[in-house]
Every structure is written in C-alpha cells, then in structure tokens.
Amino acid sequence: MARAALGLGGVHALVLLAVASVALFPLVISDDGYGHCEGVVRGWADSSTGWDKDGDKLSLKDLLFFLHIPRTGGRTYFHCFLKKLYTNAQECPRSYDKLRFDPSHPDCKLVVSHDDYSLTSKLPRERTSVVTILRNPVDRVFSTYEFSVEVAARFLVHKNLTSAKLMSTRLLTKSRAVSTLDIWPWKYLVPWMRQDLFARRDARGGDKVPSSKKVNAYDVEDMVMPLHQYINDPVAHEIIHNGATFQITGLTNNSYFDGAHEVRHCVRQHPDLGRIVLEVAKNRLDQMLYVGLTEDHEESARLFAHMVGAQVLSQSGTLNLDLKEDLHNENDSHPSMVEPEDEETNEHLNSTHGWQTNEALNSTSDEQGKGNMTVGKLMEAYETCIAKLRKSQSNRRKISLKKVEEANFSKEEHLMLKAQQSGVGQHRLLAEQKGWTEIICSNGICSPWMVVMLGLGITAIIALVSFAVTTRRRTSKLKV
C-alpha cells in the first residue's frame, strides 16, 4: 500500500517537474557553441546517475536528508514531524549554514537544508535517505515573491536596521544564529527586495501610505516591486526560474559542484539540453525515500507519517522528545523566518542556534518526554502543531507588512491573477457561461436602462443591415 501511494506521489511529482521545466525546452537550436555545451551537460548527467539504483529506496537509512525546496510547506514538516521524531542531538549541527556544516558528528542522523542536492557530496551516500516536497511551480513563484516582500518589509518596520548585513551581523552576534539572510535563496532575494522597497519609499516621500485604490496587491508599484517586474528580472531568472528542478539536480548558484554555473549557462543558452537535466531530476526523485506534494498536503502528511515516521520510530524504539507544543523552542531551531532583535518583536525571532545551545535544550527535553510514540500519536501532534504554526505565521506576517499594507496578498487575488495569467479573465468567462439575458439581469431583476440600450443596439444593427441590402440592390439595377 505504501509503495503504491509513493508511486502515485511520484507520478504527480514528475508532472510538476515537467511543468517547471517547460522553459528549458527548445524553440530553436542555436549552433553557437552547441557541441561544447552538449558535451558539458551530458558529461555532468553521466556523472550524476547510477547512485544506489540497486538499493532498497523505501527503507530508511542511517541519515535522513530533508531537501527543503523553499515555499513548499517544508517548515511544517520540520517543526511538526521531524522535531517530534529526532532529538536536538541527532540533528546535524548548523546544517542550514553550509559554511559551518558538520555532518561528521557521531550522533548526526538528520540534515534539513535549503542547499541543493549537491550537498550529498558531503554526506555518506550509501547511508543517506533523501526526502523532499514539490509544489506547483506557478504557486511557488507567487509564494517566493510574497515571502521576499514580507521579510524585506521588516526593514521598513525597524528603521534602526539599515541594511541586510547589519541585521545578519546583529543576529549572529547576539544569538550565534543562522538567519534567513544567510540561507539560499533568501540571502540573494531579500537584500534585492529590501533595496527596491527603500527606493520606492524614498520616491513617494517617506513612510506615509498612499491612498491608492488599486485592487491588485501584486501591482502596487509605488510601494512594492510589481510581480511581473520581479519574475522578469535577471535575478529571478538566475534563482527562481526552474528553481526546484535545479535544486533537485544540484545546479543552483549555491551548488557544491564547481561546474554548476557552466551547466546552467549551457542549458539557458540551448534550451533543448534541459531535457537532459529533467531526466536527471526524475531519476533523483525516483531514488528518494519520500516525495510529498504541497497541493495534496493532508494525504502527503499521512504518507510521510506512515512511511518515514514509522521507520524512524521503529529504529529508535522509543521517542525521547517532549510532545508539548512550544513554538518558541521550535522557532529557536529553524531559520525559515527571521525577525530583528527588538524588545517588542524578540518573541518572533526564528533562527538556528549553535550546536551547544541545541545540546542544552536536548538535555532537558529528553528527560521529560520519554515514552512510546505511535504513528497515530504523531499525526495528532502534527495536527495540533500545524494549527499553532499557521497562527504564528499569520501574526508575524501582519507585523511585517505594516508599512506596505496594500501588498497584503490574499488567496483570492492569487487565484484571480493566475486566471488572468492563463489568458482567461473573469469577464471572458462570464460571457462564455451566460447568455444575454443573464448578463443584463441579476437575480431575476433586469435593469431598464440595460434593456433600452440593448434594444437600441439591435435596432441600429437591423437598420444598418437593411441599408446595406437596399444599397446593394440599387447598385445591381444600375449595372443592368
């Protein structure tokens, strides 16, 4: 049953990757350096295949690597699953910060990172299982834009932090933390958005919020970089476009593979070579222990609990963790969000503390929470945890967007803009689905003016047709 469910998830995952990689496919093949680039890409692909094809991919190995693709809901998996399954001592120290990453610790059993698949070159491959979550690429781009605005807007709220570098330095000095600003891709996207926010603020004359009547929060250009400008910028092309595919293949601009830039450049210059990259990504997914889907969140969570959670519990025997929900402790162990060190917002700080801090926390929680854990209890803890986490995220978002309130993105606006981007506007859908009567009438009541205008329009059309016919007859008679 589990194998069948994984197969279904794998099919959905491959479909998402195929959609995400459309921009990699060709329209016209250029001869300019094509032979060289083909050799580069195929050489990389050949060296990237063949790992563990004969192994049991459904069995959990000694080390679990959660390849966290940004904006897929991975933060909930970390807090609400993995923090319940692994002790702090079992997490690889500072795994989100590859400059200080140390997978050689004897008790290291869990790696959670935004680093791409090339991180496995630092891990014992024969003893490592990989899991990840995929999301519809269009929705992931929307979410990446929204989060970039949210985090960057905190600089507007806290004026004493004048630069991303100062915020990062301050956090690291006070808490020995790894902030969002040190993590790919936010270390590139947030400073870029922050600089743009400050420029627009200065152009409109300070922090005053204009009384704009715009409905589309994705196009408030006097306050925030519009979405269309964001996704068409070279920065977005380098980091966001086909981001999940490049992350799974280990080809991001944060890769451990020295030749990643050249492979990525060749694929962009000759898009048909993207098919080779896509095949590597599909093979990687096929070898993973688990692949979840953001759009099928509930079913994916149950599958994770039964496939991954059950095996972790089986290997450990008992779960030595306190199951009480404590978002403050959880936030101290994961850097997906970051708040400035401020007396009023210190409780919202979300960062990864050093190895010694993790050991100190673990020494108390292990003694308080000993006992047997089942998959059922794990799912109950997950449901409670995710509800609190979402509430915390919502509150943090409201605080962050104080100075750019008009960019308060809603799900409805997201869906409406998606429909517009697909070339089907609401007015067009209305015209296709309703007749003339339904358009001019609402709830059974017809507007007199609409009826009159419609009647005049029909009369005018009939008059024009009659005039054209009469003129044609007269012309015919004259010719005779």
Q: Which of 112-121, 138-147, 284-293, 312-321 has the lowest mean pLDDT?
A: 312-321
pLDDT of residue 451: 52
**Average pLDDT estimate for 353-376:** 46
* Confidence band for 448, pLDDT divided at 50, 70 and 90: low
Tokens representing 210? 């204009």
- Residue 130: phi and psi, rounded to 5, are -115, 135
Chain centre distance of CA 106: 32
pLDDT of residue 179: 74
Examine the pLDDT at 426 and tell me if it is beyond 60. no
Nearest to 417 by CA among 226, 204, 158: 226
- Is 204 a residue of the active site? no
How far lies 413's CA from each of 137, 141, 142, 380, 445, in Å?
17, 14, 11, 32, 29
* Confidence band for 480, pLDDT divided at 50, 70 and 90: very low
The single residue listed with the structure tokens 């994705």 is 218
Examine the pLDDT at 309 and tell me if it is beyond 90. yes
Task: Note the pTM of the prediction, 2 decimals.
Answer: 0.72
For 144-156, write each residue's pLDDT tens digit: 999 999 999 998 8
Contact 281, 35 (CB under 8 A): no
Q: Which of 4-8, 118-122, 215-219, 314-318 has the lowest mean pLDDT?
A: 4-8
The single residue listed with the structure tokens 């997490």 is 91
75, 94, 135, 146: which is the annotated catalytic residue? 146
Examine the pLDDT at 212 and tell me if it is beyond 50. yes
pLDDT of residue 479: 39
Tokens representing 416? 């409406």
pLDDT of residue 341: 32
For 43-79, write each residue's pLDDT tens digit: 999 998 765 555 678 899 999 999 999 999 999 999 9
Contact 347, 50 (CB under 8 A): no
Q: What region does 374 belong to: left with phi over 0, alpha with psi -120 to 50, or beta? A: beta
For 250-300, write each residue's pLDDT tens digit: 999 999 999 999 999 999 999 999 999 999 999 999 999 999 999 999 999
Chain centre distance of CA 92: 24
- Residue 201: phi and psi, rounded to 5, are -60, -45
Handedness of CA 297, 410, 408, 244 (dihedral sign): positive
Contact 184, 114 (CB under 8 A): yes
125, 176, 200, 268: which is the annotated catalytic residue? 125
Tokens representing 442? 């609402």
Examine the pLDDT at 477 and tell me if it is beyond 90. no
Tokens representing 380? 């109950």
pLDDT of residue 434: 42
Q: How many CB atoms lie within 10 A of CB 407?
A: 21
For 135-185, where are the alpha helices, taking DSSP H only? 137-157, 164-175
- Is 472 a residue of the active site? no
Q: Share the mean pLDDT of the chain.
A: 74
Cα 252 to Cα 242: distance, rounded to the nearest angstrom:
10
- CA-based Rg of the chain, rounded to a whole angstrom? 28
Nearest to 251 by CA among 277, 272, 276: 277
Tokens representing 80? 């609400």
Check residues 446 and 40 and name the one with the higher pLDDT: 40
Element containing residue 446 per DSSP (H, E): strand 445-446
**Average pLDDT estimate for 23-48:** 76
Cα 16 to Cα 421: distance, rounded to the nearest angstrom:
18
For 168-202, write each residue's pLDDT tens digit: 455 444 444 567 888 899 999 999 999 999 999 98
pLDDT of residue 228: 95
